[in-house]
Amino acid sequence: MPSISRSQEQKLDNLNEGSKTSNKSLNRKHWILQQRRSLPIASVERRLVDEVRKNDTIIIVGETGSGKTTQLPQYLFNAGFCRDGKVIGITQPRRVAAVTVAKRVAEECDAQLGQKVGYAIRFDDATSTSTRIKYMTDGLLLREALLDPILSRYSVIIIDEAHERTVHTDVLLGLLKKVQDARLKQHKLDKPYINNVVKVDNECHSSNMKFAPLKLIIMSASLDAKGFSEYFCGAKAVYVQGRQYPVDILYTYQPEPDYVDATLITIFQIHLDDSPGDILAFLTGQEEIELVDMLVHERLKQLPERSRNILTVPIYSSLPSEQQMNVFRPTPSNFRKVILATNIAETSVTIPGVKYVIDPGVVKSRYYNPVTGMESLIIMPISKAQALQRSGRAGREGPGKCFRLYPESEFWKLIDSTVPEIKRCSLSNVVLQLKALGFNDIIGFDFMDKPSRSAIKQSLQELYLLGALTDDCKLSDPVGIQMARFPLDPIYSKALILSGEFRCLEEMLIVVAMLSVESIFYSPREKLEESVVIIYEMALLYSSPPVVFYCKARSAWKKFSSPDGDHLTLVTVFRAAVEYREKIRAATNKEKAIDKSLSRWCRDNFINNRSLKHALDVHSQIKVYLEQMDMSLSSCGDDVLQFRRCLTASFFLNAAEKQPDGSYRVKANGQNVQIHPSSVLFRTKPECIIFTELIQTNQIYVRNISRAWMPELSQYYDVER
DNA sequence: GAGCACTGC
């Protein structure tokens, strides 16, 4: 079954390049060859190949449009780096990028996708034993390293978009440095490297195989190669020119007190004074986008008829993909498109036709407090690198303009580049992965940017409490080893392992899959408005408080809700969806028809289709892992108590007790929290709860809550504090 | 009685 992003990307392809069904394939080939030759990187092909031959590690700084991602792997292939069945691996931070680039390169090589050129992302592997150029997500390569610690099948690994510094990229950088060392030592000793390779699946694993040194190429779009070069012991950096049109940068004279208002003014200023061309405005979130959208239309009414030719298009990640696609529709003639976007338009989505960029200089970003383990989203200033990335969006197709809604002096005060993710997220998963890869000394691990000691210690402690680590801080056998194998949050992995003992693995697997995805319940705005009208009419009719009629979505969800809490509610939703799908499958075997039918079921029940599909994918993936570990899918049936016991035992760290004022106190650290109003237990307010999410917004909320099973809990908290 | 930047295994 194709994943969502793949179909999304296919639509993108069609929209961007038009129909590919042309029978003039010769012309197409000729055109592709010309395109390839005209890329800036083409002129330095020989030099690049020489540098890779001479150096084990090089850094390539290439601006957008240089062609480095598509061309370099082909140059290396042609230069013989895939001899003896070796593979060139290229990592990307995003799934869509891995797929689109692989398709493009396969076409350039005149090969069928999945043969010489392929890609591998979670839930979707388009590679074969003949694949020599393999695009993949960086997280997937990390997973591969767990099975083959010296990545023996690869002759070259290219880390693309390294400047983005995702957690996965950072862990990979550290790991690859070690892999290089290990392979170099083995190469010099001239004897087979002994390791715990689990998966032996192709010809390059013959027993007396010698491993050539691993070539490592770090590709970055940012201008500071220094950091990477220093990290890799003075590795050589090569600069490749990009293909970018000039962008005029304009600043304000004074700081703007209200960037939303300033954005609005700028949109109209461009619209009335500047030449034709679409506008891309960066905002921080859905709410802000909807507000600006509304305000633009309000102010348009004040303009003369002939100036009202503005078309607004919002785009943010939780928007259904059909609506996201609206940004690619051609603008009607005489109209100016105004794209109101979050950070999604900074890297993930490239929108054609943009000539003007409006950059208020802020971003909503996740902040993690390692002491409290609490995550919150805060609006903060962007970095210089981000500002450059944003302004670059105006110069893709011709000269452009970027309006920075702050004075130039403020720009120079911005930090150079965004703080790497590894320094601002929970490290439990990173630590578990590194332990599984054989790195015991986490504090001493050679990170490019070291996370704080306290964050590492916090994760070590959590993993110890979950039973993943022994008293001397080593990975425990079998619990720790099993936990590291699951592509899940460590606490969810632990819940799965425990639920085998409690004989409710079937239920816990569903819960874990549902908790691993974005919110399952979805209430579109227009539906809410519809319900507001109903409330209003009802209130007039009955002159009573209209709370009962608050939301249609609510009543749709009611049939799923469980008195025991949100977790069993999720189980009911999942089972209802699967049951419905099977019913449809019995009537038709066309996957498309089944998909469509399930989408309709989701819409009728106010369920987020994308999230549900994702949960189904996670569910089937984890099921395979469980089967490999010989864990049988036991169900507790109607014995809800058994499930509550298991949930309590798994998430005892997340237990909270009711206080006299109706708030809750987290038993593990004494923190005061509230039940989120979206919970089915919001009104019930049980004495003691187990939660699986803690978030800070206007208040500190716990979400996804179930009633705790007190006798089980008392085993963990015997002394009342 | 509330509010969801963006990725990824």
- Of A240, A257, A292, which residue sits at a domain end? A240
Which single residue has its CA nearest the C1' atom of nucleotide B2? A677
Q: Which two tokens stand for residue A586?
A: 């019995």
- The reply to whether A84 and A197 lie within a common domain is yes
Parallel, antiparallel or unpaired: strands A688-696 and A655-658: antiparallel
A259 close to A361: Cβ distance less than 8 angstroms? yes
Neighbours of A621 (CB within 10 A): 16
Nearest Cα neighbor of A573 from A559, A588, A585 is A559
Residue A186 vs residues A149, A307, A344: alpha-carbon distances, Å: 13, 71, 44
Residue A559: inside a domain: no
Q: How far apart are CA A77 and CA A135, in angstroms?
A: 14
Give the residue numbers spanning the domain of A382. Answer: 247-421
Q: How does residue A198 score in pLDDT terms, banded at 50, 70 and 90?
A: very low
More confident residue, A325 or A264: A264
* pLDDT tens track for A268-312: 999 999 999 999 999 998 889 989 999 999 999 999 998 999 999
Q: Measured CA to C1', what is the nucleotide nearest A319?
A: B4
In whole numbers, what is the pLDDT of chain A averaged over residues? 86
- Of A240, A257, A273, which residue sits at a domain end? A240
* pLDDT tens track for A132-152: 999 999 999 999 999 998 999
- The reply to whether A84 and A175 lie within a common domain is yes
* pLDDT tens track for A201-235: 333 343 334 678 899 999 998 767 889 999 999 99
At residue A241, does pLDDT exceed 90?
Answer: no
Domain count within chain A? 3
Average pLDDT of A645-667?
93
Residue A624 phi/psi, 5-degree rounding, is -60, -45
Q: Measured CA to C1', what is the nucleotide nearest A348?
A: B6
Nucleotide B7 C1' to residue A349 CA (A): 13
At residue A86, does pLDDT exceed 90?
Answer: yes
- The reply to whether A186 and A267 lie within a common domain is no
pLDDT reported for residue A707:
94
- The reply to whether A270 and A234 lie within a common domain is no
Which single residue has its CA nearest the C1' atom of nucleotide B7? A94
pLDDT reported for residue A200:
34
- Of A240, A261, A279, which residue sits at a domain end? A240
- The reply to whether A204 and A90 lie within a common domain is yes
Q: How does residue A551 score in pLDDT terms, banded at 50, 70 and 90?
A: low
Residue A472 vs residues A49, A149, A354, A432, A493: alpha-carbon distances, Å: 47, 23, 57, 15, 21
Residue A288: inside a domain: yes
- The reply to whether A235 and A269 lie within a common domain is no
Beta pairing partners, A90: A135, A158
pLDDT reported for residue A715:
83
**Per-residue burial over A474-504, b = 16 or more CB atoms within 10 Å of its CB, e = otherwise:** ebbeebbebbbbbbbbbbbbbbbbbbbebbb
Task: Enumerate the nucleotides of strand B whose atoms come under 7 Å of any protein CB.
Answer: 1-9
Q: How far apart are CA A23 and CA A446, in angstroms?
A: 53
| Residue entry with tokens 């005209």 | A38
Q: How does residue A424 score in pLDDT terms, banded at 50, 70 and 90?
A: confident
Q: Measured CA to C1', what is the nucleotide nearest A341?
A: B5
Q: How far apart are CA A214 and CA A153, in angstroms?
A: 10
DSSP A521: B
* pLDDT tens track for A12-21: 444 444 444 5
* pLDDT tens track for A657-667: 999 999 999 99
* pLDDT tens track for A21-55: 556 678 888 888 888 888 888 899 999 999 999 99
A581 close to A613: Cβ distance less than 8 angstroms? no
pLDDT reported for residue A142:
93
Share of chain A above pLDDT 70, in %: 89
Q: How does residue A524 score in pLDDT terms, banded at 50, 70 and 90?
A: low
Q: Measured CA to C1', what is the nucleotide nearest A96?
A: B7
